[in-house]
Structure 1
Amino acid sequence: MILVTIAKQGIREVWSHKFRSFLSMIGIILGVASLVAMIGVVQGMIRNFTVFFEETGGIEKVTITSKEPPESQSHIAFLSPGLSLSDVEAIQASVPLAEYVTPQVEFGWTRIVRGSRRMGNRVQGVTSDIQLIENYPIARGRFVGDLDNLHARPVAVIGAEVVRRLYEPDEDPLGSQIRIKNQPFTVIGILEDFEFDQNGRNALRWKNWRVFIPSRTAAQRFRGDETVSEILLKVSRYEDLRDLIPQVENVLLQRHNGIEDFEIQTREEQLAEFEKLENSFTYSLGGVAGISLLVGGIGIMNVMLAVVSERIREIGVRKAVGARASDIFFQFLVESTVISVIGGIFGIVLSVGFLQLLSAFIPGGANINLFPGNAMIFGFAFSAAVGVFSGLYPALKAARLDPIEALRYE
């Protein structure tokens, strides 16, 4: 009961000097707001990367690209046919660990026309395995199939944004024709509309611009040969990557007459680089927030020391009528803690507004975590701890005052 009475008295003292208390809170408010907002932004960055990483194949994906052969092989580089559709078939036949395999045949930015409507877009020649490597579910119709590739059929699968650009809202794209590089293609499928409804923004909108045609159609009609831009693989388990890489390398070296004009890339390095970036952001921004809280704590200590100086005579009177040193100590400690805790609450409210503002105006803001619960709890606990530590010295100073000297103080 005594502690409750002391706490109430401390809260009354804070409330009776509202403006002074608010000024002492400012450092804590800004420190907590910056800490919570920083964590919300970093979590949003992590979420953006995680969504992109998983939606483009995850850690199990492997990419094979062309490269210049080493200098020792430059004089015989012409012996290699380069990456081709035949390489894809060889990998499918000889590397069982490669669960999904697709070539990607690209031919630059391409004009796509339907009637009077037109747009510039990227067109990719692929096989059906791209669906399972990079997650392209079909909303209506079907995807490019094996027979489409075998017979090099002029068919296309288009994304939701392409539909919006080339068709009226009441038109059915299935079965209609579009022209790619002035060649007619029949639309056989429409990709799912990729929408992550976070603040009205779409974190995967780039997938809605996709246009896929059979890889063999792309190679024959637009490239004029069987070369491919890159080959994508995906294993069922991350643990299989260690065995997959040398198997793929052996197959390609045999197909390329021993010429090392290809590069096999995993995503481990990309993931590691992101984790380093994440840690650097967390430590640097966390350090800034921590310094802000420290400055806020120093501000509270200064205010509390001034309060002790103002109330020396009051402390002397209280001790003279029987108040113990511990009572005085806890009263001043409660005052500093209350100031810090209220500042922490205001800081959390401010951080939510700040995160809302960032999500509305910065690119990629849709994935910012607007209510980082763990960060809010941590920020509140940290502000309370700062209040306790900031109030310790002023409270000790007040508790140790000699009542006779305090009563003589003018």
Structure 2
Amino acid sequence: MFIKRYLHDISIAVEAIIANKVKSMLTALGIIFGVAAVISMMAIGNGAEQEILDQIKLVGVNNIIITPSTLTIEGGSGGDGGDEKAGANKFSKGLTLMDAEAIRKIIPSVQQLSPVISFNYSALLDAHSKPVVLEGVNNSYFNLFNIRLSEGTLFSDQQNENGYPVCIIGDNIKTEFFRGREAVGELIKCGQIWLKVIGVVERRDFTASASDEMGISSSDNKIFIPVQTMLLRFKNRSLVRADEVAKANKGNGPGGGGMVVFRMGEEPAQEDNDETDSNLNQLDKIVVQVKETEQLNATASLIKRMLLRRHSELYDFEVTIPELLLKQQQKTRNIFNIVLGVIAGISLIVGGIGIMNIMLASVMERIREIGVRQAVGAKKKDIIAQFLAESTLISLTGGLIGIILGIVLSKIITGMFEIKTIVSFFSVFIAFGVSVLVGVTFGYLPAKRASDNDPVESLRQ
């Protein structure tokens, strides 16, 4: 009997909504847009957070990246600036394998590290050529950047130490050269050297923004070889070549100007363009992994001091902590997302105020109806249930439509602006729950006012 009574009140509310379709829909618009805004904004926030986590996986956890930086030293007898004169008498070999070894041996907080040497080459097999990035690394490199092998093995100690002509290829390289057959055990020519494939890197998703912001790149188009293989069989920039000596003598001869310019940190030279390679660094980067996150800043500071001493107090390198940069970026994005969420939430409140205003106006319009119901035996709680059900149903319907609109809007944002969005169950639940709560909260006052009307006065209206 109790349930039947309130079902009757709800059915009257439904009839009132159907009888005033346009007004009910306009009333629900605030809820619809509020819920859609909350879901889409939270989807953008979730997408941004996931993108940051993906980038942290790409740059590695607890990693410190050491790279060469541009340094120009001008020598000569004239000019002011004592620092420049002092700097002219200093010499740094740049980033070398000895630097990497010193960091590994001396700093106790270092868990593992890998030197990295990169050059652009052309891979060749069966008269088919493809430009690739050839990188000299050690086995720690694959752990540092969470790179897995889909087949084959990593370099053995003997291959690492003796510079064997072996390689691990990216997934795109395998697809390009070994489609439909096993790559491990095959030979591929890189530059003038034949390399034996011993492993294939597992394909993984890669965000282009990670490359732009953190200086990393996809492993799918790379060929990895041991560092010693790169130095012994391909190129060692720390060695002085005869053509470089001749060029230096020519530049410092009569009319040469007496100027020595060091340019560090430039892109690796092409294999057939050694004359333009002015990068004096033996290594292109050193990737260091610290044991604990709390040790990142202290270790980075220690590395800076050590390298300054080793490089004659010349600051020709940069030390970067990608994870901390990404986490700071994530914190900034989270603040931005909270602001967007609050703005979207305000629209829900505005929608609730709209429901309250319309329901108050509806009470004034339907005073006679309320009086008739009270005259035939309806109690105050029946009147409250009727108008509360009406406002709640409007919010409920608006919430459902808003959920659909929010999901569609998230897809549109991803498609049109290439912003990653993730619609989570939590965001849908929160938005829908708030919409219902708004309907109940802002519907109660009009319902209470309707129930407080005097039946006799209502019938006189």
TM-score normalised by the chain length of structure 1: 0.85
Q: Counterpart of 1:159?
A: 170
Secondary structure (helix, strand or coil) at the match of 1:162 reads helix
Q: Is the 8 A contact 1:88 1:103 kept in 2?
A: yes
Q: Counterpart of 1:313?
A: 368
Note the alpha carbon deviations across 1:5-44, whole angstroms, 9 max, x for none. 4344334433454444333223212221221122123112
Aligned counterparts, 1:2-401, within 5 A: 3=6, 5-58=8-61, 60-67=62-69, 74=84, 75-76=86-87, 78-107=90-119, 109-167=120-178, 169-194=179-204, 206-220=218-232, 221-225=234-238, 227-267=282-322, 269-358=324-413, 363=418, 365=420, 368-370=421-423, 372-401=424-453
Note the alpha carbon deviations across 1:258-281, whole angstroms, 9 max, x for none. 433333222354134322332233
In structure 2, C-alpha distance between the alignment counterparts of 1:5 and 1:17, rounded to whole Å: 19
Shift of 1:62: 0.8
Q: Is the 8 A contact 1:48 1:364 kept in 2?
A: no
Shift of 1:364: 6.2
Q: Is the 8 A contact 1:127 1:145 kept in 2?
A: no
Change (3 A) 1:247 1:189: same
Change (3 A) 1:82 1:362: same
Secondary structure (helix, strand or coil) at the match of 1:144 reads coil
Q: Counterpart of 1:199?
A: none
Q: Is the 8 A contact 1:300 1:387 kept in 2?
A: yes
* Bigger radius of gyration: 2
In structure 2, C-alpha distance between the alignment counterparts of 1:364 and 1:123, rounded to whole Å: 32
Secondary structure (helix, strand or coil) at the match of 2:349 reads helix
In structure 2, C-alpha distance between the alignment counterparts of 1:237 and 1:72, rounded to whole Å: 42
Change (3 A) 1:205 1:234: closer
Secondary structure (helix, strand or coil) at the match of 1:206 reads coil
In structure 1, C-alpha distance between the alignment counterparts of 2:145 and 2:302, rounded to whole Å: 23
In structure 2, C-alpha distance between the alignment counterparts of 1:381 and 1:28, rounded to whole Å: 12
In structure 2, C-alpha distance between the alignment counterparts of 1:193 and 1:272, rounded to whole Å: 25
Shift of 1:223: 4.5
Shift of 1:184: 3.1
Note the alpha carbon deviations across 1:94-146, whole angstroms, 9 max, x for none. 22321111111123x44333233333333322111101111122222222344
Change (3 A) 1:311 1:57: same
Note the alpha carbon deviations across 1:167-206, whole angstroms, 9 max, x for none. 3x2222223333334543322211123269xxxxxxx993
Q: How many residues align?
A: 396
Percent identity of paired positions between Structure 1 and Structure 2: 31
Secondary structure (helix, strand or coil) at the match of 1:79 reads coil
In structure 2, C-alpha distance between the alignment counterparts of 1:363 and 1:163, rounded to whole Å: 29
Q: Is the 8 A contact 1:328 1:398 kept in 2?
A: yes
Q: Structure 2: 5+ residue runs without aligned partners?
A: 74-80, 207-215, 239-280
Note the alpha carbon deviations across 1:205-263, whole angstroms, 9 max, x for none. 93323321222333452353261111110022223335533543444234223433333
Shift of 1:309: 3.2
Secondary structure (helix, strand or coil) at the match of 1:208 reads coil
In structure 1, C-alpha distance between the alignment counterparts of 2:174 and 2:379, rounded to whole Å: 79
In structure 2, C-alpha distance between the alignment counterparts of 1:181 and 1:290, rounded to whole Å: 60
In structure 2, C-alpha distance between the alignment counterparts of 1:99 and 1:273, rounded to whole Å: 24
Change (3 A) 1:377 1:72: farther
TM-score normalised by the chain length of structure 2: 0.76
Shift of 1:149: 3.7
Q: Is the 8 A contact 2:60 2:323 kept in 1?
A: no
Change (3 A) 1:44 1:171: same
In structure 2, C-alpha distance between the alignment counterparts of 1:280 and 1:243, rounded to whole Å: 27
